[in-house]
Amino acid sequence: MTIVGSIVEGNSKYLIMRERKGADLELGELVVIDDEKRKYICMVYNIEYGVLLEQGRLYTSAGTIIEKTNPKLEFPNDDLRIFRKIYLKPLIEIHNGKYRSPISIPKLFSNVRRVEKEDLSFIKEPDTKVFLGKIRSGGRILDFDYYMNGEEMISHHTIIAAQTGRGKSNLVKVMLWEIMNHGKFGILLLDIHNEYFGIGNNKGLKDHPNADRYLLYYSKTPPPGHKKLKVSLTTIDPEDLFGIIELTEAQREAISVYRRQYKEEWIKELMCKDLSNIAQSTLRSLRRKIGNLFRIRISDSGEPYCEDEIFNFEKIGEKTIFDIANALENGKIVIIDGSSIPDETGLVIMSAIMREVFRRYENYKDQGILKDKLQIGVVLEEAPRILGELYDKNIFGRIAREGRKFKIGLIAVTQMASVIPDEILANIGTKIIMGNEMKKERLKLIENSPQDLSDYDYIIAGLEKGESIVSSIFTKFPVPIYTPLFDDIAKSEKEKSEIVVF
Amino acid sequence: MKFAHMADIHLGATSDPKLKELEMNTFRKAFEICIEEDVDFILISGDLFHVNIPDLSIVKEVVKIMKKVIENKRKIYVVYGSHDYSPNAVSIIDILEEAGIIVRIGRGKIEKGLFRPEVIVDERSNAIITGISARKLSLEREVFKILDREYLSSFKGYKIFMFHTAIDELKRKGEYYEGISSTDLPSGFDYYAGGHIHRRIEYGRIFYPGPLFTGWGVDLENTVRGERRGFYIIENGRSKFIDLTPFEGIYRDIDVAGKSAFEVNNLLKEFIEKTDVRNKVVVLKVHGELIRGKTSDIDFSYIKNEIMKRGAIYLHLNRSQLRSKEYDIIVSSESDSQKIEEEIFMEVIKGKKFTEERLLSLELPKALFNQLKVQKKEGEVSLDYERRMKEAAIEVLGIKKLLEG
């Protein structure tokens, strides 16, 4: 074990070590301080020069070098008066085999070394594990798989926040791949770029060995063996629109009137029948909004019809919402291909499904059988308004606030965490923070993280693709991880399955 | 090219003599229309019979009707339905095929992990016919997954695909069967002849005619409530639905919530008085929780007799959701299941007034249950079994004289 430094200063919030020459520690690296009885795992969060010389001598020396004067005033490499000061944030204290947030500090001059896989043995694999990646020490990836307990992670909600191109979708795919190994969670996902399933030769969740059992794919144009997305508009409730599209109070009231009067035929009647107690201007605007949402047109005979293949006024797809809710209850991952429909339309379908799931799980709770039901999660991707300004009106905001009591959780994937209200962010138990150059976004996440991330601002800004910090109410410290490429995981799984044992 | 497409005929499903007669008449009429219309062939997309080995008197009649088509040099193509298929016994469909009455579609072989269904060319019309047979519990869905689509696409001409499987996106509320997606069907066919969904559906090129006749359960209710029954004739790609709805019906939904048994009796009597039931099938759905009296206080046998006396074809009484408030939860202290049942029985009849003492003891119900446990003998037809059971039950109850008198 190579010693990389020695503790020379600090307090319970931070420690400073003098770095051994040539150790070259990096920001974000994990180090271990071995005390007599205790072991501390710390993270490098700042690096400074340490110089025990007058500043004038340093400037003079630099001048002789760059101006090429003689004699040069240089310092030998082994000059003990020049070194690097490494600022360490204590993350974990291990004492008698137990680990906890630090309540003590190591002795002065304690040796510091780089973390090794064995130092992390206190992190145990949970039963319903969800693989997030390998633990990372700075840029060095350790051969240590990091899993979170899926039940905790999903029930208490998770946010995956990053700027575009930092690997958010890859991480979600990796998580879902693992979930498909055990089938213990039902996950609903609106795939706005149609990238999760794996169309054609692209790798995707369809390549999982359990895809037949645990994956359902709904699309307007599915490959054989997969589900055609058909939704009867009779299964859409006004509640599914509220908080997804913007509606005035008058429009909401008008929708409620149609719903009361025409029951499940409310959309059809709203599109073609005037009611005397609703203003024409309200109706016109409402018809335009709903018409655009479901691509409704009016025939020459005055009958409304859906131009899109997905929706209809007949009873085609009358059980789609019900069937998907069933699949989720049975631990399946349901992907809805949202690439060919407007985002809002996809969200309305998601809303209808989650409304049905919520209704069922509320009943199960009333009957006292909720504990026997599987955890359900919904992945909400790039929908900042839904959890932002509209959150108090839609089902997703309700899930964020109350879902935990009903075993329903959110997995929000976003690059705009700053628009999510504190009330929602505070309810999200796990934050997976990936690289982000926007200070506003970083600060919002840092302020709302379960652990103190006040020293992580610069580190988060510098995270590379695939790198992230997992800050959770279920972890004792912010865990730095690297998530491998999904294609590599899918490939290695395929290779494993091709090995024939004689 | 002109052909007929029927499905879900379920011959033998009904036990009522009048409905049985109507059932066979409808079937006969359908075939007579096919002959009149001079169709090139007939497709039956599963569940021709209600069970895999039906009553032979029904089979005899079916053969008689079908033979007229055969003699006319037309073929009848059939796939197994979930009812007339048996995984471990010969089905009547196999026997009809051996006898040259029908041609079974849906055979095939696995080649390189893919299922290649046998493809048959109808000699008269050159139509290319293939399909997938049903299994119990919709297990044929697995076959769709390994269907050799490329092989099927190699055939050129007017192509028909027969199947007896539900399509998920066509399922309605309250329909719980497992289905396939429409994308599971092989592409490029001109006509997809479906069966299994008991509703008439036209969905692109996919057609479900629904049942030809409905003598039982929800189907009967739906017919009475206005759903039309029949089959398709397809001529040069154009479909025509032949309506064979065999009866007119009356549907009455009675919610007894908040009413006493006495009031319900009056309601039912009033319904009988005011309704012309002649030559109609009557469906009475009585549901809800009585506030006073027991469900047995409602005199359904009187209602039935009256309705039938007034010339109805048949009365279908749905009272599965009828409840009485007077049944409280009974907590049993026993652990043995038989003793628990005995205790509950005694608790329920406690305090009831019977003119005969024997009705208050356990002996009679025990004897009746023992009798009802007796199974069908090998080779015994359903009718004989039913008759034997009825006679034995009457004997145990000691009501023979009462019934005769």
CATH number at residue B23: 3.60.21.10
**Which pair of structure tokens corresponds to residue A363?**
């009943």
CA nearest to A271, candidates A317, A303, A301: A303
Contact state of B173 with A319 under an 8 Å Cβ cutoff: yes
Domain end marker among B327, B342, B357: B327
Chain B, nearest residue to A219 by Cα:
B183
CA nearest to A445, candidates A163, A167, A161: A161
B183 within a domain of the structure (yes/no): yes
B375 within a domain of the structure (yes/no): no
Query: Residue A403 has what pLDDT?
Result: 94
- A335, A198 contact by CB (below 8 A): no
The predicted-structure confidence for A336-345, as pLDDT tens digits, reads as follows: 999 988 889 9
Per-block mean pLDDT, blocks of 10 residues, chain B (405 long): 96 90 95 97 96 91 96 95 80 93 94 94 97 82 92 97 95 85 94 95 96 84 92 96 92 92 92 93 92 89 93 91 71 68 76 72 82 80 85 85 75
Mark whether B91 and B110 lie in a shared domain.
Answer: yes
- What is the distance between the alpha carbons of residues B83 and B133, in angstroms, rounded to a whole number? 11
Residues of B with CB below 8 A from A222's CB? 181, 183
Q: What are phi and psi of A447, to 5 degrees?
A: -65, -30
B347 within a domain of the structure (yes/no): no
Please spell the DSSP secondary structure of B182-223, one letter per residue: GGGSPSS-SEEEE-SSSS-EEETTEEE--BS---SHHHHHHH
Query: Residue B332 has what pLDDT?
Result: 62
Q: Tell how strand B248-255 and strand B280-290 pair up.
A: parallel
Contact state of A225 with B203 under an 8 Å Cβ cutoff: no
B306 within a domain of the structure (yes/no): yes
Distance from B46 to chain A by nearest Cα, in Å?
22
Query: Domains plus CATH for chain A?
Result: 3-120 (no CATH), 149-229+318-498 (3.40.50.300), 234-312 (no CATH)
Contact state of A319 with B145 under an 8 Å Cβ cutoff: no
Mark whether B171 and B298 lie in a shared domain.
Answer: no
Mark whether B303 and B183 lie in a shared domain.
Answer: no
The structural domain count of chain B equals 2
- What is the distance between the alpha carbons of residues A415 and A445, in angstroms, rounded to a whole number? 11
Residues contacting A72, CB < 8 A, separation 6+:
A64, A65
With a cut of 90, say whether residue A495 has pLDDT above it.
Answer: no
Half-sphere exposure of B248 (CA within 13 A, CB side): 6
Distance from A235 to chain B by nearest Cα, in Å?
10
The predicted-structure confidence for A141-169, as pLDDT tens digits, reads as follows: 999 999 999 999 999 999 999 998 899 99
Residues of B with CB below 8 A from A228's CB? 168-169, 181-183
With a cut of 60, say whether residue A498 has pLDDT above it.
Answer: no
Mark whether B189 and B86 lie in a shared domain.
Answer: yes
Mark whether B256 and B237 lie in a shared domain.
Answer: no
Q: Least CB-CB distance to B183: which of A224, A317, A322? A: A224
With a cut of 50, say whether residue A499 has pLDDT above it.
Answer: no
Q: Least CB-CB distance to B149: which of A224, A230, A320? A: A224
Interface of A with B (CB under 8 A): 222-228, 230, 315-320, 322-323
Distance from B145 to chain A by nearest Cα, in Å?
6
Range of the domain at B298: 247-327
B390 within a domain of the structure (yes/no): no
B378 within a domain of the structure (yes/no): no
- Between helix A343-367 and helix A395-402 the angle, nearest 10°, is 40
Catalytic residues of B: 83
Q: What are phi and psi of A16, to 5 degrees?
A: -120, 135
Mark whether B143 and B226 lie in a shared domain.
Answer: yes
Mark whether B210 and B138 lie in a shared domain.
Answer: yes
**Which pair of structure tokens corresponds to residue A125?**
């694999």
Distance from A343 to chain B by nearest Cα, in Å?
22
Domain end marker among B227, B243, B259: B243
Chain A, nearest residue to B201 by Cα:
A316
Chain A, nearest residue to B175 by Cα:
A319
Report the SS3 class of residue B379: coil
Residues of A with CB below 8 A from B184's CB? 224-225
Give the mean pLDDT of chain A.
Answer: 92
Mark whether B230 and B261 lie in a shared domain.
Answer: no
Cα-Cα-Cα-Cα torsion B43, B45, B51, B55, nearest 10 degrees, comes to -10
With a cut of 70, say whether residue A502 has pLDDT above it.
Answer: no
Mark whether B262 and B156 lie in a shared domain.
Answer: no
Contact state of A223 with B182 under an 8 Å Cβ cutoff: no
With a cut of 70, say whether residue A497 has pLDDT above it.
Answer: no
- Name residue B79's amino acid: V
Which segments of A98-194 does DSSP mark as H helices, in order? 150-155, 168-182
- A458, A451 contact by CB (below 8 A): no
Chain B, nearest residue to A311 by Cα:
B169
Mark whether B99 and B235 lie in a shared domain.
Answer: yes
Domain end marker among B294, B327, B360: B327
- What is the distance between the alpha carbons of residues B230 and A458, in angstroms, rounded to a whole number? 74
Mark whether B11 and B107 lie in a shared domain.
Answer: yes
B348 within a domain of the structure (yes/no): no
CB pairs under 8 A between A and B: 42
- What is the distance between the alpha carbons of residues A356 and B222, in angstroms, rounded to a whole number? 27
- Name residue A55's amino acid: Q
Contact state of A323 with B171 under an 8 Å Cβ cutoff: yes
Residues contacting B109, CB < 8 A, separation 6+:
B115, B116
- A217, A245 contact by CB (below 8 A): no
Mark whether B171 and B283 lie in a shared domain.
Answer: no
* Average pLDDT for A455-482: 93
Distance from B343 to chain A by nearest Cα, in Å?
28
- What is the distance between the alpha carbons of residues A220 and A341, in angstroms, rounded to a whole number? 9
Residues of B with CB below 8 A from A226's CB? 181, 183
The interface residues of chain B toward chain A in range 205-244, judged by CB-CB distance below 8 A, are none
Which segments of B230-281 does DSSP mark as H helices, in order? 261-274
Alpha-carbon distances, residue B169 vs A11, B133, B203, B346 (angstroms): 65, 20, 10, 50
Number of C-beta neighbours around residue A190 at 10 A:
25
* Number of residues assigned to chain B: 405
Residues contacting A304, CB < 8 A, separation 6+:
A268, A271, A272, A296, A297, A298, A313
Alpha-carbon distances, residue A501 vs A489, A490, A492, A498, B362 (angstroms): 21, 20, 17, 10, 64
Which segments of A296-342 does DSSP mark as H helices, in order? 320-329
B398 within a domain of the structure (yes/no): no
- What is the distance between the alpha carbons of residues A110 and A90, in angstroms, rounded to a whole number? 14
**A501 confidence band (pLDDT: 50, 70, 90):** very low
The predicted-structure confidence for A428-467, as pLDDT tens digits, reads as follows: 999 999 999 899 999 999 999 998 899 899 899 999 999 9
Contact state of B184 with A225 under an 8 Å Cβ cutoff: yes
- B294, B261 contact by CB (below 8 A): yes
- What is the distance between the alpha carbons of residues A185 and A476, in angstroms, rounded to a whole number? 24
With a cut of 50, say whether residue A211 has pLDDT above it.
Answer: yes
